[in-house]
A and B are shown apart, each in its own frame.
Chain A
Amino acid sequence: MKIISDVGPNFFGPGAKPGAVPTDVDQATGLERAELLAALEGKELFELKPLKITKYGTKKDPIRVKSVDPVRYVGCSGFPVDSHELLWLVLDKNHEFDRCPECGQVFKMNYIGTDSGHGHGHGH
């Protein structure tokens, strides 16, 4: 898309013309700009939808959960969904698997982060 090729790697737009009202494409910056440019390409920059549980996770075939941090929480409500009280489990990238103590469903972390940062999401 043309607008995106106008944008350099430093993530600054061209700015508004003097005397004109700027648009978001003109001068949004940082994370807001990344979100905007992805939206202009018809993509969603962030995965915010809840995980769809379409099967009962087992040790052989666990529910895989993406994570950019080495540890993350997952709420299990059994299979089918909402068949028991929501229980919060801690998934760890060093664990072979993690199991819900209520229904025995198995989750496995799919670690997609990098080990360089301290993983608290300060995106700068």
Chain B
Amino acid sequence: MIIQPHPYHLVEPSPWPLGASFALLTTTFSGVMSFHGVANAGLFLTLGVIGTLTTMGLWWRDCIAEGTFQGHHTKPVQRGLSLGIILFIVSEVFFFLSIFWAFFDSALAPTVELGCAWPPAGIEPIYPFELPLLNTILLLSSGASVTWSHHALIAGDRKGSILGLVVTLIFALIFTGIQAYEYYQAGFTISDGAFGTCFFFSTGFHGAHVIIGSIFLTVALFRLMNYHLTNHHHVGYEGAILYWQT
């Protein structure tokens, strides 16, 4: 085996950057057209979303092949991948910062249009110490169980690691189910002024974050069960955990 003189991964030509560009253009373009009620935009939006998801799946499948089966992910490459995940999560943190900003801007000094009150006049908010409290407990517990799974993996305890991750995913599914029920039962909608907008903007994107995190953890579970992950090389799982904890 001829060894290259540097540890970096020079990637092979791949169709996925181009595929992702076309799929994302179709998704955003037809998404906007769909909001404006243009004919057949929904069909193109569906095609765009299918194309985006397919490209994501095939691209990351290639990454797994390169890392796990071809050994391209040396220590410096792993550092680069981790840095990419961290920067992505930082960008998401600032996105959520702007969501909180919108909420505090409306809630801390309610304008006269809101009846100088928060929740605004006529809005019946969801009581936070019933199902929302249960959901908070579920998410905090899932943070504990995913840490259990991660530490079990590092300690070489395969059963514990798989069990911890399955428990985490069960918590995640119950959380998403309860949130769907809450959305169904809510006495206001996203178009009910600043309160409805802030509520569905924040909980909606948090819900999306939870669903994406659940998929990310499911991929890690699949790779854990198929012996992809070693006790000290599991960047994908660490990324999923970091995403889950934020």
Binding site for B on A (CB under 8 A): 9, 11, 15-16, 19-24, 26-35, 45-48, 68, 117, 120-124
Contacts and interface: CB of A to CB of B under 8 A. Distances in A.
Contacts of B6: 46, 48, 121
Interface string B31-73: 0000000000000000000000000000000000000011111
B85 to A, nearest CB: 19
Given A23-B230, A45-B7, A32 B157 contact: no
Nearest to B158: A21
Contact of A23 (B7, B10, B158, B232): B232
Given A9-B1, A24-B230, A123-B2, A31 B72 contact: yes
Contact of B69 (A20, A22, A29, A47): A29
B244 to A, nearest CB: 20
B175 to A, nearest CB: 28
B234 to A, nearest CB: 10
B62 to A, nearest CB: 15
A124 B71 CA distance: 11
Interface of B: 1-7, 10, 69-76, 153, 156-159, 161, 227, 229-233
Nearest to B154: A21
Contacts of A30: 70-72
Contacts, number: 83
A15 B75 CA distance: 20
Contacts of A20: 156, 158
Nearest to A39: B75
Given A35-B7, A45-B3, A121-B10, A28 B233 contact: yes
A71 to B, nearest CB: 14
Contacts of A47: 5
Contact of A33 (B71, B76, B229): B71
A120 B10 CA distance: 9
A9 B3 CA distance: 13
A3 B121 CA distance: 72
